[in-house]
A and B are shown apart, each in its own frame.
Chain A
């Protein structure tokens, strides 16, 4: 087959694979900045899988998310009891730094503070919030990114500055939402 050109697939130094573009979804975060019609509310009988910061921390209505108590202690029994793989990677009181690469705004900040931070206009805190949720997701079950990838993505974003941190936040926010809706 080498050297023969089949439709869409030809073997060369690397295999040629037909390029495709798939739309994955719409980020609520980014979409809020534009002016589309409001999305319909989710069906009431469609429970959230729980992948967002609001699941692992305090939710937007001020209550606790469903996963808050699954990682409040080291090797939390609720983690495994709810189907989590292994043990929770950190607990509420674990310091963000040095678990993740240091950033000046994250020194002395716990994972609990980070996932509940919101961050206002500070890109590092916004990205850290999404990162902690993403890391818990990756530890709990299958997720788009591995834990090693997430740690590396954070490091690269810190090195890249605020624009990179904003991009990371947007990416992980959308990924968490997509995970939540699966």
Chain B
């Protein structure tokens, strides 16, 4: 992810990630392809990213998302938290999510 914009968002447990309405998605094999209609940029969301993506509904807090993913996959919450923060940082820099809180 070389092309980023400044003003990184500080995600905390009480943040409420929300998918941008300017994004369309389509499953392709093992990835979820995201297309930002306004910028024309398109992305592949891989790994457990699609689960986190769909939990970013503007209702769930980041803390809830971490707990849900940890529980669903039997994963260490600390690992999930670190990964989710990294992913949300990239998603927000690309204008794919914002914070509804």
Hey, which bits of chain A sit against chain B, CB under 8 A?
3, 5, 7-8, 10-34, 144-145, 153, 167-168, 170-171, 174-175, 178
Task: Please name the residue on chain A nearest to B27 by beta carbon.
Answer: A149
- The 30 listed contacts between A and B (C-beta, < 8 Å) are A3-B74, A5-B75, A7-B79, A10-B75, A12-B75, A13-B74, A16-B69, A18-B83, A19-B45, A19-B51, A19-B84, A20-B49, A20-B87, A21-B43, A21-B49, A21-B91, A23-B1, A23-B41, A24-B43, A26-B39, A26-B41, A30-B35, A31-B40, A34-B40, A144-B29, A167-B26, A168-B26, A171-B24, A171-B42, A178-B42
Task: Please name the residue on chain B nearest to A7 by beta carbon.
Answer: B79
Q: Which residues of A are found within 8 Å of B3, using beta-carbon distances?
A: 23
Interface size classification for chain B = 35 or more
Q: Which residues of A are found within 8 Å of B13, using beta-carbon distances?
A: none
Q: Is B48 an interface residue (CB 8 A)?
A: yes
Chain B nearest Cβ from A161, distance in angstroms: 14
CB < 8 Å neighbour of A10 from B47, B49, B76: B76
What 14 new A-B contacts, CB under 8 Å, besides A11-B74, A170-B37?
A: A16-B80, A20-B87, A21-B44, A22-B43, A22-B46, A24-B42, A25-B42, A27-B40, A27-B42, A28-B40, A33-B37, A34-B39, A145-B28, A171-B42
Q: Are A22 and B40 in contact (CB under 8 A)?
A: no
Chain B nearest Cβ from A52, distance in angstroms: 15
Q: Is B5 an interface residue (CB 8 A)?
A: no
Chain B nearest Cβ from A167, distance in angstroms: 4
